[in-house]
């Protein structure tokens, strides 16, 4: 098929497919590349994205929209800043977004180019605008992310903050298994494929690889202001939260 992959790229795809068997994980391309030891490359990412978009076997494994897996977490922050800056047809530029994201202007410019490639923005490196229909990218997980980092260096995204708690807190996990609550199709952001996956594993089978016997870090960002949030859990116990006093609002991203 088009977009033939080399051996390292095939290994990245194998990691993605294996991770996606875990209903809690929505590992992205950049995270899988890092696990293989490949430095991030947009060209490599685009070749892998070609398989994600066009290979029926890969498409059958995903539960969210393609941009959930194609964009890096930094690019999601850039997208969120672009949504704020680009309201009412206003232009979006890298120098204006850099302070809001905490990223270098060059990295923001590259991110905006990636957003344009996916159809979220239109324009060129001098100035972009939000593309017609960009709102469709807000469905499902939108541009939110919740990155889990293990001491081994392994990184992966989970669907929501509750999924992180399931991984690191055995009491919460046991309670969910006992209650056996089912997600509704009316749950905001839920997709049919995600519902099917949840139904297939059941409440007791949500967690394939518990992380309550080790140190785990959650890298997140406020859904409203995009400021970074870091949570550290050590052997099932909360060890640190930065910034102090950060709160989780259910349904707030």
Q: What is the pLDDT of residues 165-209, one digit of tens each?
A: 999 999 999 998 888 666 655 666 789 999 999 999 988 889 999
Q: Give the Cα separation of 241 and 70 in Å (integer).
A: 29
Q: Which two tokens stand for residue 171?
A: 């009491």
Q: Which two tokens stand for residue 165?
A: 């708690």
Q: Phi-psi bin for 200: left (phi > 0), alpha (psi -120 to 50), beta? A: alpha
Q: Which two tokens stand for residue 23?
A: 């209903």
Would you state the pLDDT for residue 3?
60
Phi–psi pair at 154, nearest 5 degrees: -65, 135
Listed as ranges, residues in the chain with pLDDT below 70 are: 1-3, 180-188, 249-253
- Give the burial string for 189-228 (b: 16+ CB within 10 Å, else e): bbbeebbebbeeeeeeebbeeebbeeebbbbbbbbeebee
Would you state the pLDDT for residue 246?
83
A 10 A CB-CB count for 98 gives: 18
Q: Give the Cα separation of 201 and 182 in Å (integer).
A: 11
Q: Give the Cα separation of 216 and 230 in Å (integer).
A: 11
Q: Please state at what angle helix 170-179 crosses helix 161-168, rounded to 10 degrees.
A: 110
Q: Give the Cα separation of 112 and 92 in Å (integer).
A: 9
Q: What is the domain partition of the chain in residue ranges?
A: 7-70, 73-138, 147-242
Q: Give the Cα separation of 98 and 100 in Å (integer).
A: 5
Q: With the C-alpha atoms ordered 88, 94, 95, 98, is the resulting torsion angle positive or negative? A: positive
CATH number, domain 73-138: 1.10.10.10
Give the residue among 202, 200, 206 at the shortest CA–CA distance from 163: 206
Would you state the pLDDT for residue 88?
86
- Cβ(92)–Cβ(129) under 8 Å? yes
Would you state the pLDDT for residue 249?
66
Q: With the C-alpha atoms ordered 211, 213, 214, 217, is the resulting torsion angle positive or negative? A: positive
Q: Which two tokens stand for residue 242?
A: 């930065």
Would you state the pLDDT for residue 1?
45
In three-state secondary structure terms, 78 is: helix
A 10 A CB-CB count for 104 gives: 11
């Amino acid at each position: 098929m088009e977009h033939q992959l080399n051996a390292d790229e095939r290994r990245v795809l194998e990691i993605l497919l294996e991770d996606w068997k875990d209903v809690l994980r929505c590992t992205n391309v950049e995270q899988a590349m890092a696990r293989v030891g490949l430095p991030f490359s947009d060209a490599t990412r685009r070749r892998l994205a070609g398989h994600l978009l066009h290979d029926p076997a890969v498409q059958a494994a995903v539960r969210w929209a393609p941009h959930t897996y194609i964009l890096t977490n930094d690019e999601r922050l850039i997208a969120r800043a672009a949504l704020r800056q680009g309201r009412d047809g206003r232009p979006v530029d890298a120098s204006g977004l850099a302070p809001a994201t905490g990223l270098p202007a060059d990295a923001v410019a590259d991110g905006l180019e990636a957003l344009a490639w996916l159809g979220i923005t239109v324009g060129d490196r001098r100035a972009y605008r939000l593309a017609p229909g960009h709102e469709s990218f807000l469905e499902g997980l939108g541009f939110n992310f919740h990155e889990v980092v293990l001491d081994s260096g392994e990184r992966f995204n989970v669907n929501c903050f509750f999924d992180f708690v399931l991984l690191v807190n055995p009491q919460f996990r046991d309670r969910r298994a006992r209650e056996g609550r089912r997600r509704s199709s009316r749950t905001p952001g839920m997709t049919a494929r995600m519902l099917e996956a949840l139904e297939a594993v059941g409440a007791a089978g949500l967690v394939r690889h518990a992380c309550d016997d080790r140190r785990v870090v959650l890298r997140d960002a406020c859904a409203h202001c995009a400021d970074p949030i870091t949570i550290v859990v050590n052997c099932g116990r909360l060890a640190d939260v930065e910034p102090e006093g950060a709160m989780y609002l259910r349904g707030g991203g």
